[in-house]
Amino acid sequence: MKTTLSLSSAAQVETECLAVVVLDRSEKKSGEKEKPEVAVSTSDKAVQQAATDLIASGDVTGKIFEISWMHKPAALKAKRLLLVGGGKAKTFSASELRKAAGAAVRALKPRNLRSLSFAVPEQVGAEDAVRAIVEGAIVGNFDPDTYKSDRKDQKVESLTVIASGEQASLQNAMEQARIVAESQNFTRELVNEPSNRMTPTILANRAKEMAKDVGLKFEVYGADKIKEMKMGAFWGVAQGSDEPPALIVMRYEPAGAPAKPVLGLVGKGITFDTGGISIKPADGMEKMKYDMAGGATMIGVMRAIALLKPKVKVIGIVCATENMPSGKAQKPGDIQTAMSGKTIEIINTDAEGRLVLADGLCYARQLGCTHLIDAATLTGAVVVALGYANAGIFASDDGFYDRFKSAVDSSGEKMWRLPLGEEYLDAMRSQIADLQNTGGRWGGASTAAAFLKEFAEDTPWIHLDIAGTAWMEDNKPWIAKGPSGIAVRSLIEFASKFGS
């Protein structure tokens, strides 16, 4: 999507469609039934006038994501006026605006409209509004129907953001937002691929192409190197597949960056998860192509970091393999020795993500990372705890968490901190090895996190369990059903400010 900034008045912009936000400014008074008090969120008098009759009709309530059309609006150069509901004015923020922009794009797509102009609403600061509109529009433009033989290309090709303010700063905000949103969509493209078209080797090749395009240092290692480095936990998962594993390493080392801190981003890259010998039920297993979403997240984040150029060193590591049942596969009861030297009793081969991450976290520390964040579609337990609304956050260091939480709040993504503690680690202790890879039914997200913490050791560490949020289960007004790209925005926001 081509993005353009306009400092003209909204009424003077020639476009197929001009979108503006409408808000409900009403406040409920005690004992009275609340009535919507709808207003267009723009100071442009011509736009306000054009929308007057439609609003007066009562058909526009300002309800969040409500879409109302007006053709050939009087006194406007736009062919259509699109009113997008933003909900209550008192709670409207950049987060709602981001989704409103996505909803506007998704309203245009089936109508084969190729261009959109979006007026910045008054309730959000100009730079934040520009970022939100660009991010929401680009994310909303993505559809997962890649392999439909009769696919109709309905992409909105151009977006004009109408704003007022200092042009250079607004243009910079637009460019940053474009990088972030395109990186989120890059992650979504990787996750959307079926496993026969996204093997560990193909994932490594896509990451290599990306690294070359944006100037990242890149290395990939296969089975021989994984075994040589004594990554027994990683190899235990990989040994059951005919597809070779890939240890993907991406390095961002900008000139002038201090030697420390070094941020390590570690992603689970299970390109298909059958569960191994502890095989999953057939129902819904096709979705297990998304089990590499944590790895894809880190690849997308590294892309954005390379383009945004923060003054901090970042290393991205993805442990990519399939988890397959075969005559070579690890079995329940097996003992694996991780890179750190810790021994692990395999209780359930479907608890494989924590095994590859264990070696990934250890390797990140060996490479000099002083702070660690991992992302993984790790547990069904986090979905039981938080549903599909929030990703789970676990953190070993409160100060590190506070900085990350600030980035999450800025990004508009929804995450919730869950507990760690010795009581969860106790459930992961084995009678014949140092650890076991499952801890029973209860508190499964926390016991899995406690297992991972053993491999982060004393390094400040955050674990993101995105199992419930990496895949949108239904179409939403602002985003298509399918891969979401969750955590990409938050991680980019965090990394961009981490060295400052």
Q: Which of 280, 309, 476, 497 is catalytic?
A: 280
Domain final residue, candidates 134, 163, 192: 163
SS (H, E, C) 58-124: CCCCCCCCCEEEEECCCCCCCCEEEEEEEEEHHHCCHHHHHHHHHHHHHHHHHHCCCEEEEECCCCC
Q: Domain range spanning residue 304?
A: 183-498
Query: Is residue 113 predicted with pLDDT exceeding 80?
Result: yes
What CATH number should be reported for the domain holding residue 391?
Answer: 3.40.630.10
- Residues in contact with 396: Cβ distance below 8 Å, sequence separation at least 6, in sequence order: 420, 453, 456, 460, 461, 462
Residue 28 among the catalytic residues: no
Domain membership of residue 30 (yes or no) is yes
Distance between CA atoms of residues 418 and 401, nearest Å: 12
- Clarify whether residues 391 and 455 are in a common domain: yes
Query: Is residue 460 predicted with pLDDT exceeding 70?
Result: yes
Q: Which of 188, 354, 405, 453 is catalytic?
A: 354
Phi, psi (rounded to 5 degrees) for 243: -80, 130
Domain final residue, candidates 102, 128, 163: 163
Give residue 327's pLDDT band: very low, low, confident or very high (50, 70, 90): very high
Q: Residue 62 is encoded by which pair of tokens?
A: 């300002």
- Clarify whether residues 330 and 447 are in a common domain: yes
- Clarify whether residues 76 and 193 are in a common domain: no
- Clarify whether residues 210 and 321 are in a common domain: yes
Give residue 153's pLDDT band: very low, low, confident or very high (50, 70, 90): confident
Residue 365 among the catalytic residues: no
- Clarify whether residues 449 and 356 are in a common domain: yes
pTM score: 0.97
Domain membership of residue 327 (yes or no) is yes
pLDDT in tens, 173-231: 999 999 999 999 999 999 999 999 999 999 999 999 999 999 999 999 999 999 999 99
What CATH number should be reported for the domain holding residue 66?
Answer: 3.40.220.10
- Clarify whether residues 123 and 244 are in a common domain: no
Query: What does pLDDT average to over the chain?
Result: 96
Q: Are 96 and 21 in contact (CB under 8 A)?
A: no
Q: Residue 353 is encoded by which pair of tokens?
A: 């993500």
- Clarify whether residues 79 and 198 are in a common domain: no
For residue 119, give Cα distances in angstroms to 3, 160, 400: 13, 9, 37
Give residue 404's pLDDT band: very low, low, confident or very high (50, 70, 90): very high
- Clarify whether residues 387 and 262 are in a common domain: yes
Give the total number of structural domains in the chain.
2
Domain membership of residue 472 (yes or no) is yes
Beta bridge partners of 315: 251, 264
